[in-house]
Amino acid sequence: MKEVKAFAPATVANVACGFDILGFAVDSPGDEIEMKLVDKPGIVIKDITGDDGRLSRNPKENTATVSVYQFLEKIGAEKAGIEVTLHKKMPFGSGLGSSSASTVAGAFAVNALFDNPLTSEELLPFAMEGERVACGAAHADNVAPALYGGFVLVRSYDPLDVVRLNVPEELCCAVVHPHIEVSTKDARNILRGEIPLVDAVRQWGNVGGLIAGLEQENYDLIGRSLQDVIVEPIRSMLIPGFDEVKRAAVYAGSMGTAISGSGPSVFSLCRGLDKAERIANAKVEAFKAIGIESDKFVSKVNKVGPKIIY
């Protein structure tokens, strides 16, 4: 294979109670990358579309190509020549894993370009390094679901231990992205360094309940567990109208609604695509009522992850 085009999906991280340890993939939005082998050694970013000039064209500083360097070193092909075109189709600072979609698309595409010598598990550390370039920390709660598809639990970082979870067949997601931007670093800086034990115990119970609900396909238990008593009360202050949007989602039938990643996107889980559409529309209207336009994305939980377009 001399040329490939790959897609990697957006992701919802934290999933209410699972700060830095839970995430799942959705069908859209996502990033695309074109990659081809060329005679001249080295990695060259030929073009980037959709970024308004915000991303570095230096391949050692771009999240989409850092993972490519890692891959080539792993397989002993450092002298390969690769030309890259990145198509950013995701908003920046959205809480939907924009940087992780780019780095996963890069890792997945280069693996396909060399006839898939590595497994998804072997590619994950490379994708995490791309995430480090983007936000300063090699978190896996976005890159793992983007790479694996479905729902994942990051049980441990040292050693890295990522667990794929069951996804109930009718579990759907309604994500609404308001047209504001929240910096991941800013959203981290406002968090408390310590939490009361009573809050920690409630959060642990919700994490366990959510995982049990997924495994048992118990939608009621999933809904009861989608509560964040630690991070959401603080980060929601960065999202105008959050409480109103959350109430609108509940009235429309959401099992649970919370901040996607570091925000400002707000996700809801529910049973069935028709209900997801109604919930998304209700959240769009709630944002519009306070003068904020937004985009909606409705899908089942994406069990596939990245894919080759050609």
Catalytic amino acids?
131, 184
Strands 81-87 and 42-49: parallel
Q: What SS3 state is found at 93?
A: coil
Q: Which residues in 108-141 are b (16+ Cβ under 10 Å) and which e?
A: bbbbbbbeeebebeebbbbbbbbbebbbeebbbb
Contact by Cβ (8 Å): 150, 164: yes
Max intra-chain CA distance, the chain: 61
Using the structure block, give the residue that is written with the tokens 């009621």: 220
**Torsion over CA: 122, 126, 129, 130 (sign):** negative
For every residue of 186-239, DSSP letters joined together read: HHHHTS-S---HHHHHHHHHHHHHHHHHHHHT-HHHHHHH---SSSHHHHGGGS
236/231 Cα distance (integer angstroms): 8
Using the structure block, give the residue that is written with the tokens 């919930």: 279
Query: 291: which 2 tokens?
Result: 């003068």
CA 31, chain centre distance (Å): 11
